[in-house]
Amino acid sequence: MRTAIFPGSFDPFTAGHLDVLDSALKLFDKVIVAVGYNSNKTTGFFPVDIRIKIIKDAIKPYGERVDVCCYKQLTIDLCHKLGVNFIVRGLRTTTDFEFEGVIAQANRVLDPDVVTVYVQASHEYSFISSTVVRDLLIHNGDATPFMPTGVDIKKYIKAKKELKK
């Protein structure tokens, strides 16, 4: 069985991420969405447990072919822990390409047997980013069109506000 991890901050997981996942499932039997605590984004907008709940809502239609986990270590160490040899990442623009290239090269040096596979964003999702979704949510905008079907983002905004009380 071919398994890949799809690592990212997913703060939050968007329709763009789901599109990448959907393509990855054409290549792999199973994909594990791995929520990483990025060193530059330590706090984040949503706490990791809410990010995971959002992903669980989004991946429901895929059943057992998709799993979700979170990790703090290096992505390559997560690959070793899970026994996975493929990393899936999405590409929207040339900026993504350059950024992703640096990460993939580093991972390749750390373990040449782990291959990074890029999925090109569909044009209808290529403008979607977690940053845009967060900006909308901060300013009470409706982020629903940018979210995967099945994710009630308003419910999670409420849950986030409850945590602050």
Q: Which is nearer to ligand ADP, 45 or 157 (CB)?
A: 45
Q: What tokens appear for 64 in the block?
A: 């057992």
Cβ of residue 144: shortest distance to ligand ADP, in angstroms?
A: 16
Alpha helices in 31-93 (DSSP H): 48-59, 75-82
Q: For residue 152, what is the DSSP state?
A: -
Q: What is the binding site for ligand ADP (CB under 6 A)?
A: 8-10, 14, 16-17, 19-20, 38, 89-90, 92, 96, 100, 121, 125-126, 128-130
**CB 123, min distance to ligand ADP, A:** 10
Please state, in angstroms and rounded to a whole number, the distance separating the CA atoms of residues 55 and 33: 8
For this structure, is 9 an active site residue? no
Strands ordered across the beta sheet of 86-91: 66-71, 30-36, 3-8, 86-91, 115-120
| Smallest distance, ligand ADP to C-beta of residue 33, A | 9
Question: What's the alpha-carbon Rg for the chain, to the nearest Å?
Answer: 15
| Active-site residue flag, 158 | no
Spot the catalytic one: 9, 53, 130, 158: 130
Q: Which of 17, 51, 53, 89 is catalytic?
A: 17
- Whether residue 80 lies in the annotated active site: no
* Catalytic residue selected from 51, 53, 89, 92: 92
The type of residue at 120 is Q
Q: Which residues are catalytic?
A: 17, 41, 92, 130
